[in-house]
Amino acid sequence: MAYLFTSESVSEGHPDKVADQISDALIDNFLAFDKESKVACETLVTTGQVVLAGEVKSHTYLDVQKIARDTINSIGYTKGEYMFDGNSCGVFSAIHEQSDDINRGVDRASKEEQGAGDQGMMFGYATNETENFMPLALDLSHRILKELSDLRRENKDITYLRPDSKSQVTIEYSDDNVPQRIDAIVVSTQHDDFADDDTMLAKIRKDIVEILIPRVIAKLPEQIQALFNDDIKYHINPTGKFVIGGPHGDTGLTGRKIIVDTYGGKGAHGGGAFSGKDPSKVDRSAAYATRHIAKNLVAAGVADEILVQVSYAIGVVEPMGIFINTYGTCPFNMTDGEIAEKVSEIFDMRPFAIEERLKLRNPIYSETAAYGHMGRTNEIVTKTFTQPTGESVTLDVELFTWEKLDYVDQVKEAFNL
């Protein structure tokens, strides 16, 4: 019997994502001036206030207030009527030095022997149902909000949009797990006040269905476009008015959107957030590494769908173990345990090896903090960072290295594919 599966996304203006973006902007600035920085930074945002807290070990000094304000302004919170804007909000910093007890378990005389920054398990997932090897419902949810953000910034076809928004897509699958059609789409977007509520709701619904969705569809592959139909159930701002939003509507915290950040409920999640953590924290680096493994395995034809788990003990160099689940989609006669054994031979999962392989000691994290850490485009960009002293550094950095299909040939050779 066919079944339904749903994933959601939230925009860069969602309060939790505002917090994530501030935390990751701090990470990038620390790493830009000191690649060895150890950072765990949490952010809280609420009406007119930003609170920064966390632990840092670094040789650089930053104007954290300016970084937070610049990030908020870049998202689009620039008006006093939002009750939260980058120029006027209060920014309180409670960032302090990292505990020597924690640092002792991570740093080693030899970098190759660097221990894991924490215990825990991390998961990576990939499926061949989309071109970027991501679950379709989540991919579409992200695309809807990215397009909505573009419309907001263009301020031409739709002129009343505010930064906070959420989306949700429900897809019908066949018994053999193939997407058949889109069943429902939910979009809730913050907006300017309207004189008449009924006019407002009709206008927003019309614009979302007739302007936003066609722009999303136009950028999709033909086989995904075919899943859209006239019977889709649209729920547009289903609670009605959505003028009060962002950190004024709800308090935001770093790390509260970990399912949006990863696979939309497909696969699994180890529970650790990403944003605000330097790559010595395996919550982040190993989650990227397992995604890299899963994507390359699926692309090489090892299975149609793969879940990879790795686990660590704090301060210990080697992982506790690697687990593979192919969901019965492996086309050749090999058990998941045998696949895991080969994976451990191909991919070095020591924390320092992950950092080196994926170039994680670079300021590459601000771009991850909205619209998902996985399934993104690998590219090289130029960034400039400035210290309070006026010293600037301009760097070419490679984003989303864990999305590269650079191990496909090695995987094929190892599995005789």
Domain boundaries, given as residue ranges, for the chain: 3-10+136-246, 16-109, 120-127+255-414
pLDDT surpassing 80 at residue 108: no
Q: Is residue 55 marked as binding?
A: yes
Global pTM exceeds 0.85:
yes
To the nearest whole percent, how much of the chain has pLDDT over 70? Answer: 96
In three-state secondary structure terms, 244 is coil
pLDDT surpassing 90 at residue 197: no
To the nearest whole percent, how much of the chain has pLDDT over 90? Answer: 92
Q: Are 47 and 247 in contact (CB under 8 A)?
A: yes
Position 97 scores a pLDDT of 85
Question: Bigger pLDDT: 197 or 248?
Answer: 248
Position 118 scores a pLDDT of 82
pLDDT bin (cut points 50, 70, 90) of residue 114 is confident
Compute how many other C-beta atoms are within 10 angstroms of the C-beta atom of residue 353: 17
Position 173 scores a pLDDT of 97
pLDDT surpassing 60 at residue 338: yes
Q: Is residue 256 marked as binding?
A: yes
Q: Is residue 361 marked as binding?
A: no
User: Which residue from 159, 163, 154, 22 is spatially nearest to 81, judged by alpha carbons?
Assistant: 163
pLDDT surpassing 90 at residue 45: yes
Q: Please write down the HEC assignment for all residues of 1-18.
A: CCEEEEEEEECCCCHHHH
Mean pLDDT of the chain: 95
pLDDT surpassing 90 at residue 104: no
CATH class of 120-127+255-414: alpha beta
CATH class of 16-109: alpha beta
Position 1 scores a pLDDT of 78
Q: Which has the minimum average pLDDT: 86-100, 200-214, 257-271, 334-348? A: 86-100
Q: Would 3-10+136-246 and 120-127+255-414 be classified into the same CATH topology? A: yes
Position 29 scores a pLDDT of 98
Q: How many whole angstroms separate alpha carbon 182 and alpha carbon 175?
A: 16
Which helix (H) or strand (E) element contains residue 302? none
Tell me how far CA of residue 227 lies from CA of 121, 129, 130, 231, in angstroms.
35, 13, 13, 11
Q: Is residue 165 marked as binding?
A: yes
Q: What are the backbone dihedrals phi and psi of residue 309, each rounded to the nearest 5 degrees, phi first?
A: -120, 140
Position 343 scores a pLDDT of 97
Q: How many whole angstroms separate alpha carbon 245 and alpha carbon 152?
A: 15
Region 148-156: mean pLDDT is 97
Position 109 scores a pLDDT of 56
Q: How many whole angstroms separate alpha carbon 323 and alpha carbon 341?
A: 9
Position 100 scores a pLDDT of 63
Which helix (H) or strand (E) element contains residue 204? helix 197-207
Q: pLDDT per residue over 358-415, tens digit each?
A: 999 999 999 999 999 999 999 999 999 999 999 999 999 999 999 999 999 999 999 9
Give the position of tokens 């788990």.
309
Q: pLDDT per residue over 53-62, tens digit each?
A: 999 999 999 9
Q: Is residue 16 marked as binding?
A: yes
Give the position of tokens 């993104």.
376
Q: Is residue 404 marked as binding?
A: no
pLDDT surpassing 70 at residue 99: no
pLDDT surpassing 90 at residue 336: yes
pLDDT bin (cut points 50, 70, 90) of residue 46 is very high
pLDDT surpassing 80 at residue 172: yes
Buried b (16+ CB within 10 A) or exposed e, 198-233: eebbeebeebbeeebbeebeeebeeebeebbeeebe
Q: pLDDT per residue over 122-142, tens digit each?
A: 999 999 999 999 999 999 999
Q: Is residue 14 marked as binding?
A: yes
pLDDT bin (cut points 50, 70, 90) of residue 315 is confident
pLDDT bin (cut points 50, 70, 90) of residue 14 is very high
Q: Is residue 96 marked as binding?
A: no
Instruction: Given CATH 3.30.300.10, say whether it is the number of domain 3-10+136-246.
Output: yes
Buried b (16+ CB within 10 A) or exposed e, 322-349: bbbbbeeebeeeeebeebbebbbeebeb
